């Protein structure tokens, strides 16, 4: 890869490898890049400033894509992701706090992040 890639480092020290889909199979690459950050907002800001290209979840760059500050690359090879799945043990008597949390996830987070 001949591009300046901005990489993400996880809290455990591991640097995220980029994943793509090609004809139904997942292809993982480890691009070279001098800039590595553990902050997705910092990675996006560096990309907007021209420091390189990044690989981040769509909802982190939605505003920049909409404004034209960034363009999407390799769209045909991007993995599809329908959003997170939350699992919990159903209870006959959930607490009000738990019910409020689930309602918040259903009504707020999903519409803001993946619509």
- Count of domains in the chain? 2
Verify that 66 and 11 share a domain, yes or no: yes
pLDDT value at residue 84: 65
Residue 22 CA to residue 79 CA, distance in Å, equals 9
pTM for the model? 0.70
Phi/psi-derived region of residue 68, left when phi > 0, alpha when psi is between -120 and 50, beta in every other case: left
Average pLDDT, the chain: 87
Verify that 59 and 102 share a domain, yes or no: no
Verify that 73 and 31 share a domain, yes or no: yes
pLDDT value at residue 105: 80
Verify that 44 and 87 share a domain, yes or no: no
Verify that 88 and 50 share a domain, yes or no: no
* pLDDT tens string 23-62: 989 999 999 889 999 999 999 999 999 999 999 988 899 9
**Per-residue tokens: 53:** 């290209």
pLDDT value at residue 115: 42
């Amino acid at each position: 890869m001949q591009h300046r890639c901005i990489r993400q480092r996880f809290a455990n020290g591991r640097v995220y490898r980029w994943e793509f889909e090609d004809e139904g199979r997942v292809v993982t690459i480890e691009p070279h890049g001098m800039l590595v950050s553990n902050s997705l907002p910092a990675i996006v800001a560096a990309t907007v400033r021209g420091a390189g290209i990044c690989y981040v979840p769509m909802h982190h760059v939605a505003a920049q894509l909409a404004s034209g500050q960034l363009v999407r690359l390799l769209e045909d090879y991007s993995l599809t992701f329908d959003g997170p799945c939350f699992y919990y043990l159903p209870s006959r008597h959930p607490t009000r706090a738990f019910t409020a949390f689930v309602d918040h996830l259903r009504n707020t987070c999903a519409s803001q992040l993946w619509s």
